Amino acid sequence: DGGITQSPKYLFRKEGQNVTLSCEQNLNHDAMYWYRQDPGQGLRLIYYSQIVNDFQKGDIAEGYSVSREKKESFPLTVTSAQKNPTAFYLCASSPPGAGGPFGSTDTQYFGPGTRLTVL
Amino acid sequence: RKEVEQDPGPFNVPEGATVAFNCTYSNSASQSFFWYRQDCRKEPKLLMSVYSSGNEDGRFTAQLNRASQYISLLIRDSKLSDSATYLCVVNRLNSGYSTLTFGKGTMLLVSP
């Protein structure tokens, strides 16, 4: 089955620890994205990547880092520098098409998310 | 003005009712528009894209008014399963990259 997977579903960490969230897709999508969602809030863009070995900061990149070594994978590291890391983290990807500057459409499909709680 | 603005609701309607949601956006250069649906504690799922000519998908109709920078979603014959939060989504261009901006969502509760 094709899709986007995120693991784990729930994650607990102590304050001051770095943690890496996994996002994998087997849809052959070029573009991938990371968002965070806080209760009652909209999704906010953390980082995005249009092609392998390239990524850009979103609106709230401080305290986060990413890598894009493979087309299928876009892991997000929440570092100890992130002031309020407890949130629902969502990964998304876009199918190929003529819509965007790098050939991806604007339509995004989401993984099931990871709920991170920092104690 | 916020990039994407929606009435948070909740909209409480009985089964079978027709309900409409509105959304305004601030970036006149936006070219792509969507409605996503998000169930409680789940990921957003694409409901439909929104085109200038308006488009319909079963009981759902979306309209776009570029002059007023306004998007709407109409749901006819509401079902219990339509209860969810509906997210208005608009694209923007940053240094040549196109990304999406999500509204905070409008909550719909359909009751028997």
Pairs across A and B, CB distance < 8 A? 56
Which ranges of chain B have pLDDT less than 70? none
Say if B104 is an interface residue toward chain A (CB within 8 Å): yes
Contact B38, B102 (CB under 8 A): no
One-letter amino acid at B94 equals N
Residue of B nearest to A57 (CA): B94
Contact B60, B8 (CB under 8 A): no
Say if A3 is an interface residue toward chain B (CB within 8 Å): no
- Residue B2: its pLDDT value, please? 82
Tell me the chain B residues in contact with residue A45 when contact means C-beta distances shorter than 8 Å: 99-101
- Residue B93: its pLDDT value, please? 82
- Residue A100: its pLDDT value, please? 53
Say if A90 is an interface residue toward chain B (CB within 8 Å): yes
Q: Quick one: which of A52, A60, A57, A45 has its CA closest to A31? A: A52
- Residue B76: its pLDDT value, please? 98
Each residue's pLDDT expressed in tens, for chain A with a length of 119 residues:
679 999 999 999 999 899 999 999 999 999 999 999 998 889 999 999 999 999 999 999 999 999 999 999 999 999 988 989 999 999 999 987 755 555 667 899 999 999 999 98
Give Cα A62 to chain centroid, integer Å: 14
Query: How is chain B classified by DSSP, letter by letter?
Result: --SEEE---PEEEETT--EEEEEEES-TT---EEEEEE-TTS-EEEEEE--TT-EEETTEEEEEETTTTEEEEEE-S--GGG-EEEEEEEEEEETTEEEEEE---EEEEEE-
One-letter amino acid at B24 equals T
Say if A19 is an interface residue toward chain B (CB within 8 Å): no
Which of A41, A100, A112 is opposite residue B98, by nearest beta carbon? A100
CA–CA distance, A96 with B33 (Å, rounded to integer): 18
- Binary contact (A42, B87; C-beta < 8 A): yes
